[in-house]
Copies of this chain bind each other. A is one copy, B any other.
């Protein structure tokens, strides 16, 4: 029985989905980018039907905005959605930590250690570094064996990339690698509360430090208002 092709996992639609998702997370497609069905299909060698299916999936994950009759674009979450998102992440990742604390197997610990090493190695390059930082969190979620938890943390982490792309300070090393290591240590030691606190701090620091207070968020009138005053206009 020959393998179909270079079809990574499910049908070809899922392949399209993965490609687009990856492109978005790597910020090769930045928030607001138009996603026309036929150019994508043409480039990827599939029909619009499959692209459409992938776009629907992505929209359900909140990575893509689907405006009726106006096409799809990479989602541009508002800053407030961003803050709320991190609140939600906090609630779920606390559960992750509580579930995992003191219960990690030797193998899992190795996997996580290896991942942290990879993060350190990739610190120079921006895109891979961002992706790896996120993957650490999804990796943890994966280990809970809790399907819904996994799915939601995955989505939230993915959307976090968008938030960071839109409102993050350019040079912030969003997830300090050292914090991942500390967190792992606490988890291994079974210090649940300390681990949870660390996770809380970890995520909190993103919202309070990495996220810019306001910008790109106000509508054109508000933005112009400031300049107008400076120029003595209306």
Binding site for B on A (CB under 8 A): 10-11, 49, 52-53, 56-57, 60-62, 68, 81, 84-85, 87-88, 91-92, 94-95, 99, 144-149, 151-152, 155-156, 159
How far, in angstroms, from A60 to B155 measured CA to CA in the complex? 12
Closest residue of chain B to A152 (Cβ to Cβ) is B152
Contact with A88, one of B11, B57, B152 (Cβ below 8 angstroms) = B152
How far, in angstroms, from A99 to B145 measured CA to CA in the complex? 28
Q: 7 tightest CB-CB pairs across the interface, nearest first?
A: A84-B146, A91-B95, A60-B60, A88-B148, A91-B91, A88-B149, A85-B148
Q: Closest CB-CB distance, A225 to chain B, in whole Å?
A: 26
Q: In the complex, what residues of B have CB within 8 A of residue A156's CB?
A: 148
Overall SS of chain A's interface: helix
Closest residue of chain B to A147 (Cβ to Cβ) is B81
Q: How many copies does the complex hold?
A: 2
A87 pairs with B95, CB closer than 8 A: yes
How far, in angstroms, from A68 to B10 measured CA to CA in the complex? 7
Q: Closest CB-CB distance, A194 to chain B, in whole Å?
A: 19
Q: In the complex, what residues of B have CB within 8 A of residue A85's CB?
A: 147-148
Closest residue of chain B to A78 (Cβ to Cβ) is B147
Taking each of A57, A88, A92, A152, which has the highest tally of chain B beta carbons within 10 Å of its own beta carbon? Answer: A88
Q: Closest CB-CB distance, A54 to chain B, in whole Å?
A: 10
Q: In the complex, what residues of B have CB within 8 A of residue A53's CB?
A: 52-53, 56
A and B contact pairs by CB, cutoff 8 A, 7 listed:
A52-B53, A53-B56, A84-B145, A85-B148, A87-B149, A148-B155, A148-B156
Q: Closest CB-CB distance, A80 to chain B, in whole Å?
A: 8
Taking each of A52, A61, A84, A159, which has the highest tally of chain B beta carbons within 10 Å of its own beta carbon? Answer: A84
